[in-house]
Amino acid sequence: MSLTTILMTVFSTTLIYAAPLIFTALGGTFSERSGVVNVGLEGMMIVGAFSSTVFNLAFANVLGSATPWISLLVGAVFGLLFSILHAVATINFRADHIISGTVLNLMAPALCVFLTRIFYSGKGQTPVLDQSMGTFTFPVLSQIPFIGKVLFTRTSLVAFLAVLVGIASWYFLYRTNIGLRLRSVGENPTAADTLGINVGTYRYLGVLLSGFLGGIGGAVMAQSITLNFSASTISGQGFMSLAAMIFGKWNPLGATGAAIFFGLAQSLPIIGGYIPVLSHVNSVWFQIAPYAITVIVLVFFLGKAVAPAADGQNYIKGK
């Protein structure tokens, strides 16, 4: 295999695995920037993956090749609806954010597998999707020598979209007044309140955006990687996204970059098979690598990273 082909494979596999993480990590960034800790990303991804798969299976013969893309939106909407639970619990009822997020994580797989059994005659997993997100070759860009082949040939279109969303998120958070206000309620809600900013509204915005993006993340996972839904469709990607968010210092661009790094880690088992030097290594090592890297990154960066000052603190208005 030529170097170009190897690089192309590494790059496209990385992106394919990174895309769900990017969306979800961005979701986490919005939630935590508004001051609501979101360990429920895993649950939101599961709901997104499940709902998008059901939609895809039901409408593939009507919508054709557009199905996976519309399925993403369906996943997003259900992710958003699911995140309302977290918003209500933490913002209205001032529940502990970790507990509420854990509830989402426990509830989502149980609920979705239960529904799968109901919808698909008792089976624990859905049938395989006919219409999925394949690879994409950019029309003009792929003609560029070397780079075109490595970066723009047979790659993941949705990952490029995810990176664009990451850049847009940065502009949203750091250049618009809504973003400034969203960050202010995550830093010092009392100060924001004295300036007439409704803390609850902006925290809702943060949590719902995380549900929306987490739902997309889960949907991408199902539409482009697992191609069906089962209990193991989302296996720790929500937590990896959380780690990517922390690694990226709660900054959309940082989170995007970190998610791509974790994508590389996740694609190791596949890449390992293609690269001659690595093909003799026992594949178990590659399979545990993403999780091990997540733990290591968290150990080294969690202490140093500076979270939004009021992240995880419920806001109680003064008398």
Task: Tell me which residues touch another protein (CB under 8 A).
Answer: 171, 175-178, 180-181, 183-184, 187-188, 190-197, 306, 308-309, 318-319
160 or 172: CB nearest another protein: 172
Minimum Å gap between C-beta 245 and another protein is 16
- For the CB of residue 178, give the shortest distance to another protein in the complex, in Å: 8
Q: Judged by CB, which is closer to another protein: 119, or 187?
A: 187
Shortest reach from residue 113's CB to another protein, in Å: 41
Compare residues 35 and 290 and give the one whose CB is closer to another protein: 35
Tell me the H-state helices in 188-304.
Answer: 189-194, 199-220, 237-247, 252-274, 283-301
For 177, the enclosing helix (H) or strand (E) is helix 177-187
**Residue 212 or residue 250: which is nearer to another protein going by CB?**
250
* Residue 56 to residues 85, 163, 182, Cα–Cα distance (Å): 25, 24, 34
Closer Cβ to another protein, 16 or 192, answer by number = 192
User: In degrees to the nearest 10, what's the CA dihedral of 218, 222, 223, 225?
Assistant: 110
Distant-in-sequence contacts of 121-128, Cβ < 8 A, 24+ apart: 124/230, 124/231, 125/228, 125/229, 125/230, 125/231, 126/53, 126/54, 126/57, 126/228, 126/229, 126/230, 127/57, 127/228, 128/227, 128/228
Least spacing, CB of residue 116 vs another protein, in Å: 41
Within 64-96, residue ranges assigned H as helices are 67-87
CB of 29 to another protein, least distance (A): 15
Nearer to another protein, 56 or 184 (CB): 184
Neighbours of 232 (CB within 10 A): 11
Q: How far is the CB of 199 from another protein (least distance, A)?
A: 12
C-beta of 223: minimal distance to another protein in Å? 30
Q: Nearer Cβ to another protein, position 192 or 258?
A: 192
Q: Are 4 and 152 in contact (CB under 8 A)?
A: no
- Assess contact for 38 and 28: CB atoms under 8 A: yes
